[in-house]
Amino acid sequence: MPDTSVALSGITLDNPVIPASGTFGFGYEFSEYYDINILGSISLKGTTKDPRFGNPTPRIAEIPCGLINSVGLQNPGADAVIGTEIPRLAKTFKKPLIANISGFSVDEYVECARKFDAVGQVGILEINISCPNVHGGGMSFGTSAESAAQVTRAVKSAVSKPVYIKLSPNVTDITEIARAVQDAGADGISMINTLLGMRIDLKTKRPVVANQKGGMSGPCILPLALRMVYEVYESVDIPIIGMGGISCAADVIEMMLAGASAVQVGAANLVDPCACRDIIKQLPETMQHYGIEKLSDITGGAHNGK
């Protein structure tokens, strides 16, 4: 039987498949469809220090092979996630979690990270400096190497758990940002977040999304995500969680060959709530088809043809 296990900063995952933040709620919602303990981990819905209602509606626009969203980090706030949502999830999911944290200032990132650092079930802190759907925070930190490094240093100095920085693809050179956060102490990188896009309603002649533009995701962005993961793998020495358009087991293998140590599945969950389950079920057979015995051995294999 092929070995699907992988490791992230000393944490062993049964498989590399992680539902991406914002597409899987707080996890327990999906337990009525299947046993979510088969997942490698779960990246929790993006959380800010204070509750957020999010952006005005409509927030979603369809595109060929994907969608555009502008949810705007709607969440109940860190205290409610820690006090209510994680305990509820713990009744059905027993593995280490990834806490996805956003902020509108360095101090907010630090305060929120400290709160989640104290939660026993949280194994990794995923610092989102790349959300394209909020103003005055999120992506504004992720498009500057200096700002990205500033957030990374501040969070690392305040917590004890591994810190993964979620990078934005909406930059000229993503490798520059990756090197900056590595030099500032990041334990790993998550990439990529959504790409900015928009649709226009031909009848109203207005943007479909109330926020005018939003984050584009789905199978259409897989080649872009692969290219960026490939480039960043050659630029840093820390683990990468790769994401962007993954919808089947073959995509997982392709992303790992590009340089990912694990993957996150996003938009596919919005199309099919059992997407992650089915990908995990497909993995052993797909590995055998390509002669892969141990999945962790293929990370970065595309760089040397192995």
Positions marked active-site: 131
- Closest by CA to 70, choosing from 136, 142, 134, is 134
The CA-based diameter of the chain, rounded to the nearest angstrom, is 56
Angle formed by the axes of helices 174-183 and 145-156, to 10°?
30
Residue with tokens 């999945």: 295
Report the C-alpha gap between 190 and 183 in whole angstroms: 16
- Rounded to the nearest 5 degrees, what angle is found at the Cα of 166, between the Cα atoms of 170 and 276? 105
Report the C-alpha gap between 183 and 167 in whole angstroms: 15
CA 2 to chain CA centroid, Å, is 26
Contact 214, 68 (CB under 8 A): yes
Q: Pairing between strand 66-69 and 60-63?
A: antiparallel
b (16+ CB within 10 A) / e for 131-144: bbbbeebbbbbbbe
CA 3 to chain CA centroid, Å, is 23
Mapping DSSP to helix (H, G, I), strand (E, B) and coil, where does residue 240 land?
strand
In this structure, what token pair is assigned to residue 171?
A: 């930059």
Contact 229, 257 (CB under 8 A): no
Residue with tokens 């059905």: 92
Contact 276, 39 (CB under 8 A): yes
DSSP classification of residue 38: G
